[in-house]
Structure 1
Amino acid sequence: IQSMIPEIAELTVFFSMFVTVNLLRHNPTVKAESKSSSFDEMSYGFLGYPVSQAADITFCKASVVPVGDDQLPHLELTRKIVRRFNELYKPVFTEPMALLSETPRLIGTDGNAKMSKSLGNTITLDSSAEEVTRIIKKAVTDPARLHKHDPGHPEICPIFAYHRAFLPLESADIRESCMHGKIGCAACKERITAGLEQIFIPMRERRAYYAARPKLVDEILASGTQYTRCIARETMNEVREAMNLNYFDLPMKTYLEGVN
């Protein structure tokens, strides 16, 4: 639980000294989120979120980070911060490398942007079978296709993007049938709905198992948090030592003599 790892907040403060406001303002994700949210003014926390992400990545000395291509600017900022810290003080951190996801970025069900909870155009992993069916039925398809036998344009259709991501073995057949007007949008939606259902069934079963055992979930979270705090403490001890901030690690007599 991130909020129970105060070392991340401490490291965020240190890292914030290495990043200019101008650099943060030009982060593509920050710019896009600010525009879509119509923020007149950005709070310090919102603008500095990429710095917090850098602390998330580095406090446990991650060397590889799985990301989508839209997160690459965040990771590059992390790499810059790590290089700056290591140059100024000592090599405490490793420059993390990106492990790009092979799954294409999913278009939202409204067809206008990537899936985003804030935009309400998502299919959540905890959706029921009925919810998935309802969402897919309402989802946007090829806007240029008016009739069932019209030639389709799968490359601009969100539903085909889902086929390609989740039913790759069938996607070539779907693409060919769509382009030649051999399958209608309704039938195409039924096939992806059935495919998603097969993916979601084991997820729902596992979720139900833990939902029925809240104490077990608490124990897992507590254990994971305790283990993570141990790692965080070790890292921050190294950071404070490198920055000469470990005052009270010195014997008290030596410390007081230094003050006098």
Structure 2
Amino acid sequence: MLTFIGLGLGADGISLQGLRAAQEADVVYAELYTSLLPGLVLAQLEKRIGKRVRVVSRRDVEEDPGEILDHARWKKVAFLVPGDPMIATTHVDLRLRAAKAGIGTKIVHAASIASAAAGLLGLQSYKFGPSATVPFPDNPSTRPYEVLAENLKHGWHTMLFLDLRDKERAMTAPEAIRLLLGLEERLRGGFFTPDLLLAVVARAGADDCLVRADQVERLQREDFGPPPHLLVAPGRLHFVEAEALQVFAGAPKEVLVWHMTRR
């Protein structure tokens, strides 16, 4: 049996159900490469669970998951992942591999940035369109700009994840903004302009979580503290969403008025 267990958004994000499932497992794996988990200390997690947690790499999961699957054939295996399981394609792929091998699977859900960001900003979750990741310059892509453009045409909100290589290389919001402004300069679609209303969510779920909404030109000069960071470009706003952005994220009233008349 292979049980996918969400670790939520930080050190204390695992649910009681998830903790119990990990404690009852014979083998416990964890992947920590798909997202940063503020405050998570592996030794403390192992102490809670009461057994060793084997941290696996991207290669162990995506290219050669044989060890994980072999254990799951005969034992109870817990697979810990940041956020909510199955949000990342890599976890869906591993579950499919298990199913094809005749291995049973379970999912223990936890908080996800996908729902947390909407809640922190006061935006309606059903109004989000497709999301995309802003990659580092050495792996350039126009997809985040194209996704944003299409969503804005429909009035949908856009969630932009920021690239992560390891704990020492996690993209920050100002870096992502500069890259997107570069795409605007190159593609000239008029979608990611300096006057665009944008929101930044930093360290969702942590005690020092920070949310800010303002025009791009102002946000690119701010320091949001350590990652993980996330960008949200609001689409067409309901008046309650606009008020929430003002109250919860400090969006200037004049910027919101301008945005709502434009959209």
Higher helix share: 1
Point out the structure with the larger strand share: 2
What's the TM-score once normalised by structure 1's chain length? 0.29
TM-score between the two structures when normalised by the length of structure 2:
0.28
